[in-house]
Amino acid sequence: MKEFFTLPSLKRIASAYALPARKSLGQHFLLDEGITNQIARCAGDLTLYNVIEIGPGPGGLTRSLLKAGAKKLFVVEKDARCIAIMNQLQEVAGARLEIIHGDALETDLIKTIPAPRKIVANLPYNAGTVMLLRWLEDVYVQGTEAFASLTLMFQKEVAERIVAGHGNRNYGRLSVISQWLCDCRYDFELPPEAFTPPPKVSSAVITLTPRGKPLVDVSKDALEKVVAKAFGQRRKMLRQALRGMAAPADVLLEKAGIDGTLRAEQLDVMTLGRLAQCHAELAAVSGKKDRTP
């Protein structure tokens, strides 16, 4: 079997395989091994895990994950040009690398790849948030059994929304659902020049570690409904923003012990969870349905 040092550099790979980036696939490549090693380190120990990389592209992060000792690495890639590059990498990695040529949005990672799993990826810019929401649904159903952790590169603005705490202007629906299910850590930022081609904005790596149990015992559907309503008009006081729900806003806020003059962004995840619990209880008693916002 060949050794890693016999592989051509990532720059040579990208030009040999005629890999001009495709905007439609959100392609911004990382060709600096120092950076891809840093991302791999954020994911912690990989030696006991089936590591999943979405969109390996020219394979910089892929190489770092293999070198970091991933027990087995599954790559899911839509672009056939990158699959050819992965086939070459497989000559070095052997059975430790499994290549899945397909759309990550149509791949059920839980059914396809055995636990324990960690995801590590520089996500396509245009589909990162949708992918995260799918995996959070898996975490809701299976908890830590779904994924031990998810180390993900997003546009900086999206990463900031995921980790933002209450009172922060970036705090919203994505922060609440992510933090209700996972401990969310901001790892580091990268400027546009770190990528080929450079995107218009900076990026950031974050790590989500699923909790054993969600922060508050309430259904995801109930929490999403209340949070969507509360943040739907985020500048309004809660007693106005929550109008049109199955339970009258003032009754709901009183039951939850929340001041109706506050705004959604002032409530932490626990308090929003309590609001959702109270709403579910009141709605069950009244049998009324919410009006859509």
- The binding site for ligand SAM (CB under 6 A) comprises 25-30, 54-58, 60-61, 76-79, 82, 103-105, 122, 124, 127
Task: Report the residue number whose CB is nearest to ligand SAM.
Answer: 55
The least distance separating ligand SAM from the CB of residue 196, rounded to whole angstroms, comes to 8
Among 32, 187, 31, which Cα is nearest to 120's?
187
Most distant pair of Cα atoms in the chain: their distance: 69
Distances (CA, A) of 179 to 170, 185, 218, 269: 13, 10, 14, 7
The least distance separating ligand SAM from the CB of residue 226, rounded to whole angstroms, comes to 31
With both helix axes pointing from N to C terminus, report the angle between 156-163 and 173-181 in degrees, rounded to the nearest 10.
60
The least distance separating ligand SAM from the CB of residue 205, rounded to whole angstroms, comes to 11
The least distance separating ligand SAM from the CB of residue 30, rounded to whole angstroms, comes to 4
Q: Which is nearer to ligand SAM, 124 or 210 (CB)?
A: 124
Q: Which is nearer to ligand SAM, 55 or 210 (CB)?
A: 55
Q: Which is nearer to ligand SAM, 60 or 172 (CB)?
A: 60
The least distance separating ligand SAM from the CB of residue 61, rounded to whole angstroms, comes to 5
**Terminal-to-terminal C-alpha distance of the chain:** 60
The least distance separating ligand SAM from the CB of residue 25, rounded to whole angstroms, comes to 4
Distances (CA, A) of 177 to 43, 118, 123, 160: 21, 20, 19, 14
Among 89, 153, 168, which Cα is nearest to 120's?
153
Q: Give the H/E segment covering residue 177.
A: helix 173-181
Q: Which is nearer to ligand SAM, 23 or 291 (CB)?
A: 23
Q: How many CA atoms lie within 13 A of 230 on its CB side?
A: 32
Q: Which is nearer to ligand SAM, 128 or 210 (CB)?
A: 128
Q: Which is nearer to ligand SAM, 79 or 160 (CB)?
A: 79
CB 59 within 8 A of CB 89: yes
